[in-house]
Structure 1
Protein backbone atom coordinates (compact mmCIF):
# COMPACT_ATOMS: atom_id res chain seq x y z
CA UNK A 1 0.00 0.00 0.00
CA UNK A 2 2.83 2.44 0.79
CA UNK A 3 6.06 1.12 -0.73
CA UNK A 4 7.22 3.29 -3.67
CA UNK A 5 6.75 1.59 -7.02
CA UNK A 6 4.43 -1.17 -5.88
CA UNK A 7 1.93 1.30 -4.42
CA UNK A 8 1.49 3.03 -7.78
CA UNK A 9 -2.04 3.33 -9.12
CA UNK A 10 -0.77 1.55 -12.24
CA UNK A 11 -0.05 -1.65 -10.27
CA UNK A 12 -3.19 -3.80 -9.93
CA UNK A 13 -4.37 -4.63 -6.43
CA UNK A 14 -4.08 -8.37 -7.19
CA UNK A 15 -0.36 -7.95 -7.97
CA UNK A 16 0.21 -6.11 -4.69
CA UNK A 17 -1.63 -8.84 -2.80
CA UNK A 18 0.36 -11.65 -4.43
CA UNK A 19 3.65 -9.83 -3.73
CA UNK A 20 2.64 -9.40 -0.08
CA UNK A 21 1.72 -13.08 0.26
CA UNK A 22 4.96 -14.18 -1.45
CA UNK A 23 7.08 -11.92 0.78
CA UNK A 24 5.28 -13.18 3.87
CA UNK A 25 5.83 -16.82 2.95
CA UNK A 26 9.47 -16.22 2.06
CA UNK A 27 10.27 -14.37 5.29
CA UNK A 28 8.39 -16.84 7.48
CA UNK A 29 10.99 -19.53 6.79
CA UNK A 30 13.78 -17.30 8.13
CA UNK A 31 11.83 -15.70 10.99
CA UNK A 32 10.12 -18.82 12.34
CA UNK A 33 12.36 -18.99 15.42
CA UNK A 34 11.44 -15.41 16.33
CA UNK A 35 7.71 -15.90 15.74
CA UNK A 36 6.92 -19.37 17.08
CA UNK A 37 7.81 -18.68 20.77
CA UNK A 38 5.06 -16.05 20.89
CA UNK A 39 2.34 -18.25 19.41
CA UNK A 40 -0.65 -18.25 21.75
CA UNK A 41 -3.53 -20.75 21.42
CA UNK A 42 -6.03 -18.03 22.36
CA UNK A 43 -7.40 -16.26 19.26
CA UNK A 44 -7.81 -12.99 21.18
CA UNK A 45 -4.04 -12.78 21.66
CA UNK A 46 -3.52 -12.43 17.91
CA UNK A 47 -5.48 -9.17 17.59
CA UNK A 48 -2.90 -6.87 19.26
CA UNK A 49 -0.08 -8.70 17.45
CA UNK A 50 -1.75 -8.15 14.09
CA UNK A 51 -2.42 -4.49 14.84
CA UNK A 52 1.19 -3.99 15.97
CA UNK A 53 2.59 -5.75 12.91
CA UNK A 54 0.42 -3.67 10.58
CA UNK A 55 1.59 -0.46 12.25
CA UNK A 56 5.26 -1.47 12.07
CA UNK A 57 4.97 -2.42 8.40
CA UNK A 58 3.09 0.78 7.68
CA UNK A 59 5.83 2.78 9.38
CA UNK A 60 8.53 1.17 7.21
CA UNK A 61 6.52 1.83 4.06
CA UNK A 62 5.68 5.38 5.14
CA UNK A 63 9.33 6.30 5.67
CA UNK A 64 10.26 5.20 2.16
CA UNK A 65 7.19 6.94 0.80
CA UNK A 66 8.14 10.20 2.54
CA UNK A 67 11.60 10.00 1.01
CA UNK A 68 10.12 9.67 -2.49
CA UNK A 69 7.59 12.42 -1.81
CA UNK A 70 10.47 14.74 -0.91
CA UNK A 71 11.99 14.15 -4.35
CA UNK A 72 8.60 14.68 -5.97
CA UNK A 73 8.34 17.97 -4.13
CA UNK A 74 11.74 19.21 -5.30
CA UNK A 75 11.03 17.97 -8.85
CA UNK A 76 7.88 20.09 -8.97
CA UNK A 77 9.80 23.00 -7.45
CA UNK A 78 12.56 22.68 -10.07
CA UNK A 79 9.98 22.72 -12.87
CA UNK A 80 8.34 25.79 -11.34
CA UNK A 81 11.65 27.61 -10.85
CA UNK A 82 12.51 26.99 -14.51
CA UNK A 83 9.07 28.12 -15.70
CA UNK A 84 8.52 24.68 -17.21
CA UNK A 85 5.41 23.64 -15.30
CA UNK A 86 2.67 25.37 -17.26
CA UNK A 87 1.08 22.13 -18.45
CA UNK A 88 0.70 19.14 -16.14
CA UNK A 89 1.00 15.64 -17.52
CA UNK A 90 0.34 12.16 -16.16
CA UNK A 91 2.26 11.34 -12.99
CA UNK A 92 4.22 8.13 -12.49
CA UNK A 93 2.73 6.97 -9.20
CA UNK A 94 -0.07 9.35 -8.33
CA UNK A 95 -3.34 9.98 -10.20
CA UNK A 96 -2.90 13.77 -10.05
CA UNK A 97 -1.28 15.66 -12.96
CA UNK A 98 2.43 16.39 -12.62
CA UNK A 99 4.87 18.60 -14.48
CA UNK A 100 6.75 16.76 -17.23
CA UNK A 101 10.15 17.53 -15.72
CA UNK A 102 9.04 16.37 -12.27
CA UNK A 103 7.67 13.15 -13.79
CA UNK A 104 11.02 12.49 -15.47
CA UNK A 105 12.87 12.99 -12.17
CA UNK A 106 10.43 10.78 -10.24
CA UNK A 107 10.49 8.00 -12.82
CA UNK A 108 14.29 8.05 -13.15
CA UNK A 109 14.86 7.95 -9.40
CA UNK A 110 12.34 5.13 -8.94
CA UNK A 111 13.97 3.15 -11.76
CA UNK A 112 17.42 3.63 -10.24
CA UNK A 113 16.23 2.55 -6.80
CA UNK A 114 14.90 -0.70 -8.26
CA UNK A 115 18.04 -1.18 -10.35
CA UNK A 116 20.18 -0.79 -7.24
CA UNK A 117 17.94 -3.21 -5.31
CA UNK A 118 16.38 -0.76 -2.90
CA UNK A 119 13.53 -3.25 -2.42
CA UNK A 120 16.13 -5.54 -0.83
CA UNK A 121 16.77 -2.80 1.73
CA UNK A 122 13.05 -2.78 2.51
CA UNK A 123 13.13 -6.55 3.07
CA UNK A 124 16.17 -6.13 5.34
CA UNK A 125 14.24 -3.52 7.30
CA UNK A 126 11.32 -5.95 7.68
CA UNK A 127 13.65 -8.65 9.01
CA UNK A 128 15.41 -6.21 11.33
CA UNK A 129 12.08 -4.99 12.69
CA UNK A 130 11.66 -8.30 14.56
CA UNK A 131 14.78 -7.44 16.56
CA UNK A 132 13.84 -3.83 17.22
CA UNK A 133 10.13 -4.52 17.80
CA UNK A 134 9.59 -8.19 18.72
CA UNK A 135 6.12 -9.69 18.76
CA UNK A 136 5.78 -9.46 22.53
CA UNK A 137 6.29 -5.67 22.42
CA UNK A 138 3.42 -3.55 21.13
CA UNK A 139 3.96 -0.76 18.62
CA UNK A 140 5.55 2.31 20.25
CA UNK A 141 4.00 5.48 18.75
CA UNK A 142 6.61 7.76 20.38
CA UNK A 143 9.52 6.01 18.66
CA UNK A 144 7.55 5.89 15.41
CA UNK A 145 6.90 9.64 15.57
CA UNK A 146 10.61 10.31 16.12
CA UNK A 147 11.49 8.13 13.11
CA UNK A 148 8.94 9.86 10.88
CA UNK A 149 10.12 13.32 11.99
CA UNK A 150 13.78 12.45 11.39
CA UNK A 151 12.95 10.97 7.99
CA UNK A 152 11.05 14.07 6.91
CA UNK A 153 13.85 16.33 8.14
CA UNK A 154 16.67 14.37 6.51
CA UNK A 155 14.78 13.85 3.25
CA UNK A 156 13.81 17.46 2.72
CA UNK A 157 17.25 18.78 3.69
CA UNK A 158 18.75 16.38 1.16
CA UNK A 159 16.44 17.35 -1.71
CA UNK A 160 16.86 21.05 -0.94
CA UNK A 161 20.62 20.60 -1.34
CA UNK A 162 20.04 18.72 -4.58
CA UNK A 163 17.78 21.48 -5.89
CA UNK A 164 19.97 24.35 -4.70
CA UNK A 165 21.51 25.05 -8.17
CA UNK A 166 18.05 25.59 -9.62
CA UNK A 167 17.01 27.77 -6.66
CA UNK A 168 20.09 29.96 -7.14
CA UNK A 169 19.47 30.07 -10.90
CA UNK A 170 15.86 31.16 -10.43
CA UNK A 171 16.81 33.89 -7.97
CA UNK A 172 19.52 35.33 -10.22
CA UNK A 173 17.50 35.12 -13.44
CA UNK A 174 14.32 36.59 -11.99
CA UNK A 175 16.28 39.35 -10.25
CA UNK A 176 17.96 40.23 -13.56
CA UNK A 177 14.69 40.15 -15.45
CA UNK A 178 13.10 42.37 -12.79
CA UNK A 179 15.86 44.97 -13.18
CA UNK A 180 15.53 44.90 -16.97
CA UNK A 181 11.75 45.27 -16.69
CA UNK A 182 12.18 48.34 -14.47
CA UNK A 183 14.73 49.89 -16.79
CA UNK A 184 12.76 49.24 -19.99
CA UNK A 185 9.06 48.99 -19.01
CA UNK A 186 7.92 49.37 -22.63
CA UNK A 187 9.16 45.89 -23.55
CA UNK A 188 7.01 42.86 -22.55
CA UNK A 189 10.02 41.31 -20.90
CA UNK A 190 8.15 38.33 -19.45
CA UNK A 191 7.17 36.92 -22.84
CA UNK A 192 10.60 37.61 -24.29
CA UNK A 193 12.59 36.18 -21.39
CA UNK A 194 10.56 33.01 -20.74
CA UNK A 195 12.14 30.91 -23.55
CA UNK A 196 15.63 31.91 -22.39
CA UNK A 197 14.81 31.09 -18.76
CA UNK A 198 13.48 27.66 -19.73
CA UNK A 199 16.44 27.00 -22.02
CA UNK A 200 18.94 27.96 -19.32
CA UNK A 201 17.20 25.76 -16.77
CA UNK A 202 17.18 22.80 -19.15
CA UNK A 203 20.91 23.24 -19.79
CA UNK A 204 21.60 23.19 -16.04
CA UNK A 205 19.31 20.17 -15.69
CA UNK A 206 21.18 18.36 -18.48
CA UNK A 207 24.50 18.68 -16.65
CA UNK A 208 23.13 18.21 -13.12
CA UNK A 209 20.58 15.41 -13.43
CA UNK A 210 23.15 12.59 -13.26
CA UNK A 211 24.70 13.89 -10.06
CA UNK A 212 21.27 14.69 -8.62
CA UNK A 213 19.98 11.15 -9.10
CA UNK A 214 23.23 9.58 -7.89
CA UNK A 215 23.20 11.57 -4.65
CA UNK A 216 19.53 10.79 -4.16
CA UNK A 217 20.15 7.03 -4.42
CA UNK A 218 23.11 7.28 -2.04
CA UNK A 219 20.95 9.22 0.39
CA UNK A 220 18.28 6.53 0.31
CA UNK A 221 20.79 3.87 1.33
CA UNK A 222 22.17 6.08 4.11
CA UNK A 223 18.68 6.84 5.35
CA UNK A 224 17.70 3.16 5.38
CA UNK A 225 20.83 2.15 7.29
CA UNK A 226 20.34 4.99 9.78
CA UNK A 227 16.77 3.93 10.54
Structure 2
Protein backbone atom coordinates (compact mmCIF):
# COMPACT_ATOMS: atom_id res chain seq x y z
CA UNK A 1 0.00 0.00 0.00
CA UNK A 2 2.83 2.41 0.79
CA UNK A 3 4.51 1.65 -2.53
CA UNK A 4 1.25 2.26 -4.42
CA UNK A 5 0.72 5.50 -2.50
CA UNK A 6 4.17 6.83 -3.41
CA UNK A 7 3.71 5.89 -7.06
CA UNK A 8 0.31 7.61 -7.05
CA UNK A 9 1.87 10.77 -5.58
CA UNK A 10 4.29 11.12 -8.50
CA UNK A 11 1.81 10.21 -11.24
CA UNK A 12 -1.09 12.18 -9.75
CA UNK A 13 0.98 15.34 -9.36
CA UNK A 14 2.21 15.01 -12.96
CA UNK A 15 -1.28 14.48 -14.41
CA UNK A 16 -2.60 17.40 -12.40
CA UNK A 17 -0.41 19.81 -14.39
CA UNK A 18 -0.55 18.15 -17.80
CA UNK A 19 -2.26 20.07 -20.62
CA UNK A 20 -5.55 18.51 -21.61
CA UNK A 21 -5.90 16.40 -18.46
CA UNK A 22 -5.13 19.02 -15.83
CA UNK A 23 -7.95 21.46 -16.68
CA UNK A 24 -11.58 21.52 -15.74
CA UNK A 25 -12.60 20.27 -19.18
CA UNK A 26 -11.89 16.73 -17.92
CA UNK A 27 -14.06 15.69 -14.93
CA UNK A 28 -12.25 15.21 -11.65
CA UNK A 29 -13.38 11.57 -11.38
CA UNK A 30 -11.90 10.78 -14.80
CA UNK A 31 -8.55 12.32 -13.86
CA UNK A 32 -8.56 10.40 -10.59
CA UNK A 33 -9.31 7.08 -12.28
CA UNK A 34 -6.60 7.65 -14.90
CA UNK A 35 -4.05 8.41 -12.17
CA UNK A 36 -5.10 5.35 -10.15
CA UNK A 37 -4.99 3.09 -13.24
CA UNK A 38 -1.51 4.27 -14.22
CA UNK A 39 -0.29 3.90 -10.64
CA UNK A 40 -1.54 0.33 -10.38
CA UNK A 41 0.06 -0.45 -13.74
CA UNK A 42 3.39 0.99 -12.57
CA UNK A 43 3.48 -0.72 -9.17
CA UNK A 44 4.62 -4.19 -10.39
CA UNK A 45 7.34 -2.60 -12.53
CA UNK A 46 8.85 -0.23 -9.96
CA UNK A 47 7.99 -2.20 -6.83
CA UNK A 48 11.56 -3.19 -6.05
CA UNK A 49 12.89 0.34 -6.40
CA UNK A 50 10.16 2.02 -4.37
CA UNK A 51 9.82 -0.68 -1.70
CA UNK A 52 13.47 -0.21 -0.72
CA UNK A 53 12.68 3.39 0.20
CA UNK A 54 9.62 2.71 2.37
CA UNK A 55 10.69 -0.53 4.05
CA UNK A 56 11.25 0.08 7.77
CA UNK A 57 10.88 3.83 7.14
CA UNK A 58 9.93 6.14 9.98
CA UNK A 59 6.94 8.48 9.82
CA UNK A 60 9.19 11.47 9.20
CA UNK A 61 11.06 9.71 6.40
CA UNK A 62 7.80 8.56 4.82
CA UNK A 63 6.38 12.10 4.93
CA UNK A 64 9.57 13.38 3.29
CA UNK A 65 9.28 10.72 0.59
CA UNK A 66 5.68 11.77 -0.13
CA UNK A 67 6.70 15.43 -0.47
CA UNK A 68 9.62 14.47 -2.72
CA UNK A 69 7.35 12.38 -4.99
CA UNK A 70 4.77 15.17 -5.23
CA UNK A 71 7.44 17.70 -6.20
CA UNK A 72 9.00 15.32 -8.73
CA UNK A 73 5.66 14.63 -10.42
CA UNK A 74 4.76 18.33 -10.44
CA UNK A 75 8.11 19.16 -12.07
CA UNK A 76 7.59 16.58 -14.81
CA UNK A 77 4.08 17.81 -15.54
CA UNK A 78 5.12 21.45 -15.48
CA UNK A 79 7.89 20.86 -18.03
CA UNK A 80 5.31 19.54 -20.51
CA UNK A 81 2.80 22.26 -19.70
CA UNK A 82 5.36 24.95 -20.56
CA UNK A 83 5.06 23.99 -24.24
CA UNK A 84 1.30 24.63 -24.34
CA UNK A 85 1.69 27.79 -22.23
CA UNK A 86 4.23 29.14 -24.71
CA UNK A 87 1.90 28.39 -27.63
CA UNK A 88 -1.02 30.09 -25.87
CA UNK A 89 1.09 33.17 -25.09
CA UNK A 90 2.44 33.64 -28.61
CA UNK A 91 -0.90 32.93 -30.28
CA UNK A 92 -2.51 35.46 -27.96
CA UNK A 93 -0.03 37.97 -29.33
CA UNK A 94 -0.77 36.79 -32.89
CA UNK A 95 -4.49 37.33 -32.29
CA UNK A 96 -3.77 40.90 -31.24
CA UNK A 97 -1.54 41.37 -34.30
CA UNK A 98 -4.31 40.54 -36.78
CA UNK A 99 -7.18 42.12 -34.86
CA UNK A 100 -8.82 39.00 -33.40
CA UNK A 101 -8.00 39.62 -29.75
CA UNK A 102 -11.48 40.98 -29.03
CA UNK A 103 -13.17 37.71 -30.03
CA UNK A 104 -13.23 35.58 -26.89
CA UNK A 105 -12.76 31.83 -27.19
CA UNK A 106 -13.50 28.88 -24.96
CA UNK A 107 -11.62 28.27 -21.74
CA UNK A 108 -8.62 25.98 -22.09
CA UNK A 109 -7.31 24.60 -18.78
CA UNK A 110 -9.15 27.32 -16.81
CA UNK A 111 -7.55 30.14 -18.84
CA UNK A 112 -9.65 32.50 -20.95
CA UNK A 113 -8.02 33.10 -24.34
CA UNK A 114 -8.88 34.74 -27.66
CA UNK A 115 -10.50 32.52 -30.25
CA UNK A 116 -7.27 32.15 -32.28
CA UNK A 117 -5.24 31.02 -29.27
CA UNK A 118 -8.06 28.67 -28.23
CA UNK A 119 -8.13 27.13 -31.70
CA UNK A 120 -4.40 26.43 -31.67
CA UNK A 121 -4.40 25.15 -28.07
CA UNK A 122 -7.29 22.74 -28.59
CA UNK A 123 -5.83 21.55 -31.89
CA UNK A 124 -2.37 20.99 -30.39
CA UNK A 125 -3.78 19.07 -27.40
CA UNK A 126 -5.94 16.94 -29.73
CA UNK A 127 -2.93 16.15 -31.93
CA UNK A 128 -0.94 15.12 -28.85
CA UNK A 129 -3.47 12.35 -28.17
CA UNK A 130 -4.05 11.51 -31.85
CA UNK A 131 -0.30 11.14 -32.41
CA UNK A 132 0.11 8.93 -29.29
CA UNK A 133 2.45 11.43 -27.69
CA UNK A 134 0.70 10.79 -24.38
CA UNK A 135 2.21 7.29 -24.55
CA UNK A 136 5.65 8.89 -24.78
CA UNK A 137 4.77 10.78 -21.63
CA UNK A 138 3.87 7.52 -19.89
CA UNK A 139 7.21 6.09 -21.02
CA UNK A 140 8.94 9.18 -19.64
CA UNK A 141 7.16 8.79 -16.32
CA UNK A 142 8.34 5.20 -16.07
CA UNK A 143 11.86 6.19 -17.06
CA UNK A 144 11.85 8.94 -14.41
CA UNK A 145 12.20 6.28 -11.70
CA UNK A 146 15.62 5.51 -13.12
CA UNK A 147 16.74 9.13 -13.45
CA UNK A 148 15.06 10.49 -10.30
CA UNK A 149 15.16 7.91 -7.50
CA UNK A 150 11.87 7.70 -5.57
CA UNK A 151 11.64 9.29 -2.17
CA UNK A 152 14.56 11.65 -2.73
CA UNK A 153 14.40 15.35 -3.46
CA UNK A 154 15.88 16.38 -6.78
CA UNK A 155 18.57 19.04 -6.98
CA UNK A 156 16.80 22.39 -7.10
CA UNK A 157 19.64 23.94 -9.10
CA UNK A 158 19.38 21.30 -11.82
CA UNK A 159 15.58 21.54 -11.77
CA UNK A 160 15.69 25.33 -12.18
CA UNK A 161 18.14 24.96 -15.07
CA UNK A 162 15.80 22.45 -16.72
CA UNK A 163 12.84 24.81 -16.34
CA UNK A 164 14.79 27.74 -17.81
CA UNK A 165 15.99 25.61 -20.74
CA UNK A 166 12.45 24.41 -21.30
CA UNK A 167 11.11 27.96 -21.33
CA UNK A 168 13.76 28.94 -23.88
CA UNK A 169 13.16 25.98 -26.17
CA UNK A 170 9.36 26.08 -26.01
CA UNK A 171 9.09 29.82 -26.61
CA UNK A 172 11.45 29.57 -29.59
CA UNK A 173 9.21 26.87 -31.07
CA UNK A 174 6.07 28.91 -30.36
CA UNK A 175 7.73 31.99 -31.88
CA UNK A 176 8.38 30.03 -35.09
CA UNK A 177 4.68 29.13 -35.17
CA UNK A 178 3.52 32.71 -34.55
CA UNK A 179 6.22 34.45 -36.64
CA UNK A 180 4.17 34.58 -39.89
CA UNK A 181 1.43 36.49 -38.08
CA UNK A 182 3.98 38.84 -36.51
CA UNK A 183 5.69 39.55 -39.84
CA UNK A 184 2.32 39.98 -41.53
CA UNK A 185 1.22 42.46 -38.85
CA UNK A 186 4.45 44.47 -39.14
CA UNK A 187 4.21 44.64 -42.93
CA UNK A 188 0.53 45.56 -43.01
CA UNK A 189 0.82 48.22 -40.32
CA UNK A 190 3.85 49.70 -42.09
CA UNK A 191 1.91 49.84 -45.36
CA UNK A 192 -1.15 51.35 -43.68
CA UNK A 193 1.05 53.92 -41.93
CA UNK A 194 2.62 54.98 -45.24
CA UNK A 195 -0.79 55.26 -46.89
CA UNK A 196 -2.07 57.31 -43.98
CA UNK A 197 0.96 59.58 -44.29
CA UNK A 198 0.19 60.29 -47.95
CA UNK A 199 -3.57 60.72 -47.41
CA UNK A 200 -4.08 62.16 -43.92
CA UNK A 201 -7.63 63.23 -44.77
CA UNK A 202 -8.80 59.59 -44.82
CA UNK A 203 -9.03 57.45 -41.67
CA UNK A 204 -6.99 54.67 -43.22
CA UNK A 205 -6.60 52.66 -40.03
CA UNK A 206 -10.36 52.29 -39.59
CA UNK A 207 -10.81 51.32 -43.24
CA UNK A 208 -7.88 48.88 -43.26
CA UNK A 209 -8.85 46.95 -40.11
CA UNK A 210 -11.26 44.51 -41.84
CA UNK A 211 -8.71 43.89 -44.62
CA UNK A 212 -5.94 43.19 -42.08
CA UNK A 213 -8.24 40.75 -40.29
CA UNK A 214 -9.21 39.06 -43.57
CA UNK A 215 -5.54 38.69 -44.54
CA UNK A 216 -4.74 37.18 -41.17
CA UNK A 217 -7.56 34.66 -41.52
CA UNK A 218 -6.32 33.76 -45.00
CA UNK A 219 -2.82 33.23 -43.60
CA UNK A 220 -4.32 31.04 -40.89
CA UNK A 221 -6.23 28.99 -43.47
CA UNK A 222 -3.17 28.44 -45.65
CA UNK A 223 -0.63 27.64 -42.96
CA UNK A 224 -2.38 26.23 -39.89
CA UNK A 225 -1.56 22.60 -40.71
CA UNK A 226 2.15 23.42 -41.11
CA UNK A 227 2.16 25.51 -37.93
CA UNK A 228 0.62 22.72 -35.85
CA UNK A 229 2.85 20.07 -37.45
CA UNK A 230 5.94 22.07 -36.49
CA UNK A 231 4.76 22.45 -32.91
CA UNK A 232 3.73 18.82 -32.42
CA UNK A 233 6.95 17.53 -34.00
CA UNK A 234 9.04 19.69 -31.65
CA UNK A 235 7.08 18.50 -28.62
CA UNK A 236 7.33 14.88 -29.77
CA UNK A 237 11.10 15.13 -30.22
CA UNK A 238 11.44 16.55 -26.72
CA UNK A 239 9.31 13.78 -25.19
CA UNK A 240 11.32 11.07 -26.96
CA UNK A 241 14.71 12.45 -25.99
CA UNK A 242 14.09 13.53 -22.39
Q: Normalising TM by the smaller chain, what interval?
A: over 0.9
* CA deviations over 1:54-111 (Å, ceiling 9, x no partner): 1110001001111100111121111111111122232232242x21111111111110
Secondary structure at 1:90's aligned position in 2?
Answer: strand
- Per the alignment, in what secondary structure is the counterpart of residue 160 of structure 1? helix
Deviations 1:168-205 (A, max 9, x none): 11111000001111111111112210111011111111
In the other structure, the counterpart of 2:109 is 93
Distance 2:109 2:152 in 1: 34
Cα deviation, 1:112-159, whole Å, max 9, x if unaligned, reads 001111221221121111111112642221111111111100000111
Does the 8 Å contact 2:92/2:114 carry over to 1? Answer: yes
Distance 2:157 2:55 in 1: 27
Which residue of structure 1 aligns with residue 59 of structure 2?
A: 43
1:84 aligns with 2:100: yes
Please tell me whether residue 166 in structure 1 is matched to residue 155 in structure 2.
no
Matches within 5 A, 1:11-30: 11-30=26-45
Matched residues in 2 for 1:150 and 1:95: separation? 24
- Counterpart position of 1:180: 195
Structure 1 moving runs of 4+ over 3 Å = none
C-alpha deviation, 1:45, in angstroms:
2.0
- Secondary structure at 1:186 match in 2: coil
Q: How does 1:204-219 map to 2 (within 5 A)?
A: 204-219=219-234
Q: Provide structure 1 residue ranges, at least 5 long, that are not aligned to the other structure.
A: none
1:144 aligns with 2:133: no
Using the size of structure 2 for normalisation, the TM-score is 0.89
* 1:68 pairs with 2:84: yes
Q: Given that residues 64 and 151 in structure 2 are in contact (C-alpha distance below 8 angstroms), is that contact kept between their aligned partners in structure 1? A: no
- Quote the Cα distance in structure 1 between the aligned partners of 2:215 and 2:105: 22
Question: 1:73–1:95: structure 2 CA closer, same or farther, 3 Å change rule?
Answer: closer
Aligned-residue Cα RMSD (Å) equals 1.4
Q: Is the 8 A contact 1:9 1:95 kept in 2?
A: no
